[in-house]
Structure 1
Amino acid sequence: MEANKEQVSELARMTFRFAEAMRLGTSRAFDPMRVGVLQLAAESGPVRSGEIAERLDALPSSVTRHVRALVDSGLAQTSPDPADGRAVLVEATDAGRAELQQFLDVGDEVFGAVIADWSAEDVVNLTRLLDRLIESWAAVGVRHQQAMPPVGAHGGNTALRDAALLATKLEHAAVQGDPLEHALSAYQTEMVPYAFRAVGDATKQLRRLTGSNAVQRWVLLRALPRLHRVTVP
């Protein structure tokens, strides 16, 4: 039997509360972005900094700064990507892996204290359900969150992602002394695939919203865009 609307809402609220509590707690103790970059460099390296940004859902420029700081600290190293001379591969050093493992060990101790009075069955069940939730979110949730209908917002999420990506490519070209054309080419190579996916997802969502209802279609395609032009400069 499927969960009803109230049950889904309660799960969403509890998940958000837990995520927010974790964010507040971790932000006081360490830099989550730094740890995330280091972990991907250790577990998936050599890996492109652009892939790190995508997997962490972070601005590429932010990832670039953290990679530079990790390299300066001797915790990571970079090398040219043999498949693309304009890209850089990031990999953790032995010192970086050691620091990451120390961090993970401390994290396990903290979690152990939090669930000290839980039964093993509760721990196993929650772990299984969280793993399932993460997989479902990766498969469905992110796509629905990012796919904004082309009404009112006009693909705002994709536009912000475009701007961040372009800024990162231009910054990289300036640091490396590469021609501007290389930066624009690298930007286009990464931008085109996700841009077309965003358009396709938005189209599908719009069709779901309108369906065969002529009134809904008129409101979404005619009335709201006109109102948007009047109210938004």
Structure 2
Amino acid sequence: MSTVAVMTMVLLHGFAGSRASWDAVRAAAGGEAYPALPLDLRGHGDRAHVRPVDVEACVADVLGALPDRPVGLSGYSLGGRVALHAAVAAPQRFSRLVLVATTAGIADEQERAARRAADDRLADALLAGGLDAFAARWSAQPLFADDPPAVRAAQEAEVRAGDPQALAAVLRGLSPGRVPALWDRLGALDLPVDVVVGGRDAKYRALGERLAAALPQARLHVLDGAGHGLLREAPAAVAAVLRGG
């Protein structure tokens, strides 16, 4: 059995998800036999009540949960941004990264300010209108426009299962407008990285191509026909990358 196949993989979910977001991927990777450590990020799942919600605290949580040996680290979307920050903060703790539909952040200051303002408004709308309205609004973004109905329904159910105060804190504290961009630090991250994107996810496919070009040991995997919600839509393909395929 290869080293990659037996390596423990720490798994970080996306916005409004939880460690359960990885269940289908883990099942496809081998179920209970697959060595995975899925974590709830602050503001989500069993850690919905934990404050503050910011990238420094999330990175500290991730590093504090690691075993005493180097492990693999994978993050989807928001979780991928946290994964990159953890890897930059403590590269010696990781032997491999798998970045799924994610980015190294927003570098332009005007874009950052605009995104902060937009996410603050979104958080206000969530608290004013409730989770049902927010879940429908979230899934109606162009990012998810071509998702199959079952994938969209699963995403909305995941959002509705969250805590509104917690998700509002995530929108504010982990907004790409507040989390520092890492593009200028990727060249020093000299460990194997698999970058996974959906073929019809034009925005994150472009970002994935940029990530793969900036990282010294990166491989780009484009999952044809899939969109942004890869953990829901293409779990077997994501599992194959996790297992080193």
TM-score, normalized by the shorter chain, greater than 0.5: no
- TM-score (ref. length: structure 2): 0.26
TM-score by length of 1: 0.27
Whichever structure has more helix as a proportion of its residues is 1
Structure of higher CA gyration radius: 1
